[in-house]
């Protein structure tokens, strides 16, 4: 049980890191170099350095994105600094002493902190051990109390000249309501003036907890405590706590034998850990305050921590995984005028991305160095070589699993393509996979190798020229230097075969010069409108072609043709529009295609702002490489980053069995059920928030589900809080229920907090299979998925197997048969004693033969209520259960009925209603008689008038004839 056996250990801070080391911090812009002492606090929350004048700079560990040493670290460009560090001397040891720490709120807005140690190789150990702390899963997924503890650590680091905590720092840390902060300090008998200071010894952890309880009271947790402890007692015993854990904090679907429930003697350790009162600890009792800290502890993490580490089978073929993929990786902003940077390759790979894109174009004379840019736009250019070096540096820092380089090759020069291939061979070295593995030849019917088979390997996705001669191929395999020669190009495609907007990218080889020569500006615009410049790719010459093996791009023909050819090593790329068209028309065939071989989806060309499409729809049909613009942290990118944080952030997520097995069919649009897959029901109750904003504002929360198209309602929203309270707002609302999640493995839950007016506070995206049931604090993330220290939401989550309406109450009976039969026996005894009042029988509940609960004949029947909500009501109301369990109803005699007050009262009521009905009936009868007597008299008068008019007209006609 996770309550008592922690799955993950917090990061270890080595002694030398907290003790500190002397470095020189330098800055190219200011040409300054200052001696500092670099340290990491003992808890591993902050990296900080102190100058000689005692000034301090603090860097949150979670904001660190990379550490670099040696030739990968920054090197001073300023001549003054170069002289200081003897950089231009032939025997300079600068590269053995340098350390660069990269930090930033996202992948684009980066800061480089540069240090030089006094000793050689010191920076290397610092770089490795700092990143070990950063990459520990608990650094990003710490408990609520760990984030609160982080605030205390920072306050105690920022001391004034007298070594005390300035009170103004506390006001700055909790800025939403100054009066409440002052009141909380007063309650702890601490000074509250803005110019006052607090001795650190007077502000230990116990006092800090008291301060927080006064600043942010938790009435909603008090209510939970009251409903689960012994009545009239201000504490919870070991037995009550064990019962609370088993009933509320434990997944009800777990098997009691394989996952034993908590026992009273086992929870004593939790009381010792969280109860502030020593006397209560001795007595084995938990107070309401102890309950608050218990629910803030690591035992109550909202996610299943065991899924953060590498836990999936990594020996399946590559096509059986979702692969974290990037589109136009080199761009830092928009697609039309953005800046290109090699740093983006480092950042995406460090974030766990395993497929990056390189748009290669011909370099200009005299160097003729191949470049990377977005063709026909105003984006800046970077050298191909710089991008390859950045990839080589960062490819396997976060994950050892294979990296795929998706080339969009527009270099129509054999010489420059040869240069590209040479860079790949020399810079990547043994990391580059140049030959297929012996066990997995490039033959029809042979599956792709697994991520484990390709550990530490880089694969090239580039057009492959199938006409390379065996002799030429062999010479390339042996690594000989062969002068590039132009091979005869394939015949250009007919006009009707040309790839236009909406078609598939990376098609059959075609000559770029001829193609571009015949295109005017309008045609180029048309091609850019959807698939971008991908349709203008040129043929691969020999050197580049020889590097391609398991990822060979071809033109997509049809699902039928792909199945007939059965080649796992070929891949087709689709724009989001083309892929959407295919998945709506041929969902089952698309899934089957993705079982065998890979597909890559990329944004349409009109997304000039680098926005993203929702990846969920393409994951639903098993598309492996759903490429997104990593520079834009919108909702699709937030979902992508949150999901790929799991499974050790390795960049690969194993698809569901139904999306892998050839003997199973999966239709993502299925309205009924998926064979053998148990659907889930998820209910989310938003209870309260803590420190949501720096301002005193009204707030609200949205809850959304991403999953299959046929999953139930996708989005809910709480009401706006009634008062402007962002410190501890409370929402008293019903649970948001996602009644049927057809495939939980493909679904994820998103919770977002907003200020009034729509200003973003924070969010969290969690895969449904990683959600823990129970009361939890959800620590929120920034838009770029970085953990936020202050804001959190307190929620109650319940996830259980979905039960169709027809079986809702039956499952309750089956889940606790002892209680079911016990209640039945009690009811039988009451009936025999004749002590049952008629009140129960007046309720209009179906009998045991019609309510879905087994009667004594063992037959099952339809339920009396619909769905889980009805089932829950059924479980709560024992009277209902008792009524439905009457085996042989006994008829009461008239004398017994006349003795019942309720019967007499009901009889009087019925008599009164009868008299009223008689009165109304008599009145209605009189009205009808009067109405119809009038109606019957009117036609007679009307017919009389009609005869008189007709006689007059006849007389006039006769008189006219006479004249």
Q: Among all residues, which ones are annotated catalytic?
A: 327, 374
- CA dist., res. 540 & res. 473, Å (int): 14
The bridge status of strand 748-755 relative to strand 552-553 is unpaired
Burial of residue 668 (number of CB atoms within 10 Å: 0-12, 13-18, 19+): buried
- Name residues whose C-beta falls within 8 Å of residue 139's C-beta, 6 or more positions apart in sequence: 11, 44, 61, 62, 133
Using alpha carbons only, what angle is made at residue 414 by residues 410 and 416, rounded to the nearest 5 degrees?
Answer: 70
**Which residue pairs, CB below 8 angstroms and at least 24 apart, start in 251-258?**
251/772, 251/773, 251/799, 252/773, 252/800, 253/799, 253/800, 253/801
Residue 801 and residue 253 in contact, taking contact as beta carbons nearer than 8 Å: yes
Record the tokens describing residue 846, joined without a space: 């179906």
Chain centroid to CA 353: 16
Counted residue by residue, the chain has a size of: 963
Other beta carbons within 10 Å of 122: 21
Chain centroid to CA 769: 11
- CA dist., res. 61 & res. 142, Å (int): 13
Burial of residue 1 (number of CB atoms within 10 Å: 0-12, 13-18, 19+): middle
- CA dist., res. 536 & res. 534, Å (int): 5
Straight-line distance from the first to the last Cα atom of the chain, in angstroms, rounded to the nearest whole number: 120
- CA dist., res. 267 & res. 247, Å (int): 14
- From 718, 722, 727, 724, select the one nearest 700 (Cα to Cα): 718
Give the neighbor-by-neighbor strand order of the sheet with 699-706: 715-717, 699-706, 748-755, 760-767, 774-781, 787-801, 680-690, 736-741
User: SS3 for 423?
Assistant: helix
- CA dist., res. 845 & res. 515, Å (int): 77
Question: What DSSP line would sit under 628-696, residue for residue?
Answer: B-TT--SHHHHHHHHHTTSGGG-SEEEPPGGGT-TT----TT-SS--TTPPPEEEEEEEEEEES--SS-
Taking each helix axis from N to C terminus, what angle separates 808-815 and 867-876, rounded to the nearest 10 degrees?
Answer: 40
Give the C-alpha distances (Å, rounded to integers) separating 670 from 533, 674, 675, 769, 866: 36, 7, 11, 20, 22
Chain centroid to CA 875: 33
Give the C-alpha distances (Å, rounded to integers) separating 312 from 650, 651, 655, 913, 948: 10, 12, 10, 70, 101
- From 58, 57, 55, 74, select the one nearest 66 (Cα to Cα): 74
Question: What DSSP line would sit under 602-647, residue for residue?
Answer: E--TT-TT-----THHHHTTT-SEE-B-TT--SHHHHHHHHHTTSG
Using alpha carbons only, what angle is made at residue 351 by residues 611 and 623, rounded to the nearest 5 degrees?
Answer: 60
- CA dist., res. 438 & res. 407, Å (int): 25
Other beta carbons within 10 Å of 283: 14
- CA dist., res. 654 & res. 408, Å (int): 27
What secondary structure, in 3-state letters, does 260-297 show?
CCCCCCCCHHHHHHHCCCHHHHHHCEECHHHHHHHHCC
Rg (CA), the chain: 37
Taking each helix axis from N to C terminus, what angle separates 219-228 and 238-248, rounded to the nearest 10 degrees?
Answer: 110
Cis amide leading into 424 (omega within 30): no
């Amino acid at each position: 049980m996770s309550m008592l056996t922690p799955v993950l250990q917090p990061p270890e801070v080595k002694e030398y890191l907290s003790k500190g080391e002397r470095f020189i911090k330098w800055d190219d812009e200011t040409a300054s170099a200052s001696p500092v002492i670099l340290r990491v606090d003992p808890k591993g929350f902050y990296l900080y350095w102190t100058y000689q004048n005692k000034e301090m700079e603090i860097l949150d560990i979670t904001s660190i994105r990379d550490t670099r040493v040696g030739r990968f670290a920054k090197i001073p460009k300023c001549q003054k600094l170069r002289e200081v560090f003897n950089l231009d001397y032939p025997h300079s040891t600068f590269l053995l002493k340098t350390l660069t720490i990269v930090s930033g709120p996202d992948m684009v807005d980066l800061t480089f902190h540069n240090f030089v140690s006094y000793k050689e190789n010191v920076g290397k150990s610092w770089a490795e051990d700092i990143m070990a702390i950063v990459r520990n899963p608990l650094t990003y997924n710490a408990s609520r109390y760990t984030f609160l503890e982080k605030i205390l650590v920072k306050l105690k680091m920022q001391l004034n000249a007298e070594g005390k905590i300035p009170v103004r720092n506390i006001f700055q840390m909790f800025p939403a309501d100054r009066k409440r902060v002052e009141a909380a300090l007063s309650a702890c008998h601490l000074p509250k003036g803005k110019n006052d200071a607090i001795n650190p010894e007077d502000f230990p952890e116990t006092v800090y907890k008291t301060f927080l309880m006064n600043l942010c009271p938790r009435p909603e947790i008090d209510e939970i405590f009251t409903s689960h402890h012994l009545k009239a007692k201000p504490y919870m015993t070991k037995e009550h706590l064990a019962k609370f854990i088993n009933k509320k904090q434990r997944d009800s679907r777990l098997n009691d034998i394989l996952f034993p429930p908590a026992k009273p003697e086992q929870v004593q350790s939790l009381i010792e850990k969280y109860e502030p009162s020593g006397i209560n600890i001795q007595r084995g009792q938990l107070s309401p305050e102890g309950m608050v800290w218990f629910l803030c502890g690591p035992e109550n993490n909202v996610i299943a921590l065991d899924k953060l580490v590498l836990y999936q089978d990594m020996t399946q073929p590559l096509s059986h995984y979702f692969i974290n993929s990037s589109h136009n990786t080199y761009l830092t902003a928009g697609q039309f005028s953005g800046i290109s940077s090699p740093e983006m390759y480092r950042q995406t790979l460090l974030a766990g991305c395993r497929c990056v894109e390189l748009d290669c174009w011909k370099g200009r004379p005299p160097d003729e160095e191949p470049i990377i840019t977005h063709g026909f736009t105003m984006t800046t250019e970077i050298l191909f070589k710089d991008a390859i070096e950045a990839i080589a540096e960062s490819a396997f820092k976060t994950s050892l699993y294979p990296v795929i380089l998706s080339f969009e090759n527009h270099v129509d020069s054999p010489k420059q393509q040869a240069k590209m291939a040479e860079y790949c061979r020399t810079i990547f070295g043994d990391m580059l996979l140049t030959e297929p593995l012996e066990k997995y030849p490039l033959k029809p019917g042979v599956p792709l190798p697994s991520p484990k088979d390709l550990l530490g390997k880089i694969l090239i996705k580039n057009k492959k020229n199938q006409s390379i001669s065996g002799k030429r191929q062999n010479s390339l395999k042996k690594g000989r230097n062969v002068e590039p020669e132009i091979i005869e190009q394939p015949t250009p495609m007919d006009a009707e075969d040309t790839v236009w907007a909406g078609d598939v990218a990376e098609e059959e080889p075609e000559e770029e010069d001829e193609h571009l020569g015949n295109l005017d500006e309008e045609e180029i615009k048309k091609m850019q409108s959807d698939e971008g410049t991908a349709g203008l790719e040129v043929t691969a010459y020999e050197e580049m072609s020889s590097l391609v093996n398991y990822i060979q791009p071809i033109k997509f023909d049809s699902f039928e043709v792909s199945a007939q050819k059965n080649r796992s090593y070929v891949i087709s790329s689709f724009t989001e529009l083309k892929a959407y068209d295919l998945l709506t028309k041929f969902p089952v065939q698309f899934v089957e295609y993705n079982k065998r071989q890979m597909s890559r989806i990329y944004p349409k060309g009109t997304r000039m702002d680098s926005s993203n499409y929702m990846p969920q729809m393409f994951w639903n049909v098993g598309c492996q490489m759903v490429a997104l613009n990593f520079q834009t942290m919108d909702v699709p990118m937030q979902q992508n980053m949150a999901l790929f944080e799991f499974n050790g952030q390795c960049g690969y997520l194993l698809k569901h069995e139904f999306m892998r097995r050839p003997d199973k069919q999966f239709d993502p649009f299925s309205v009924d059920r998926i064979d053998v897959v148990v659907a889930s029901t998820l209910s989310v109750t938003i209870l309260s928030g803590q420190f949501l904003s720096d301002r005193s504002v009204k707030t609200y929360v949205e809850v959304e589900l991403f999953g299959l198209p046929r999953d139930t309602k996708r989005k809910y929203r709480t009401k706006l809080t009634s008062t402007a309270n962002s410190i501890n707002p409370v929402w008293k609302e019903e649970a948001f229920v996602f009644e049927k999640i057809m495939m939980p493995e493909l679904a994820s839950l998103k919770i977002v907090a907003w200020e009034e007016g729509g200003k973003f506070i924070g969010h969290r995206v969690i895969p449904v299979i990683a959600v823990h049931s129970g009361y939890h604090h959800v620590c929120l993330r920034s838009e770029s998925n970085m953990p936020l220290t202050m804001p959190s939401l307190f929620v109650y989550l319940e996830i259980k197997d979905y039960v169709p309406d027809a079986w809702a109450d039956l499952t309750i009976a089956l889940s606790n048969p002892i209680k079911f039969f016990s209640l039945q026996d009690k009811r039988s005894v009451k009936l025999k004693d004749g002590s049952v009042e008629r009140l129960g029988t007046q309720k209009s509940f179906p009998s045991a033969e019609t309510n879905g609960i087994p009667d004594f004949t063992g037959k099952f029947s339809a339920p009396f209520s619909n769905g889980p909500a009805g089932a829950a009501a059924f479980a709560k109301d024992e009277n209902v259960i008792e009524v439905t369990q009457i085996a042989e109803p006994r008829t009461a005699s008239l004398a017994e009925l006349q003795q019942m007050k309720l019967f007499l009262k009901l009889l009087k009521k019925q008599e009164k209603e009868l008299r009223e009905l008689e009165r109304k009936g008599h009145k209605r009868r009189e009205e009808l008689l009067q109405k119809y007597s009038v109606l019957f008299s009117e036609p007679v008068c009307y017919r009389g008038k009609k005869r008189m008019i007709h006689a007059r007209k006849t007389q006039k006609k006769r008189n006219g004839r006479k004249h």
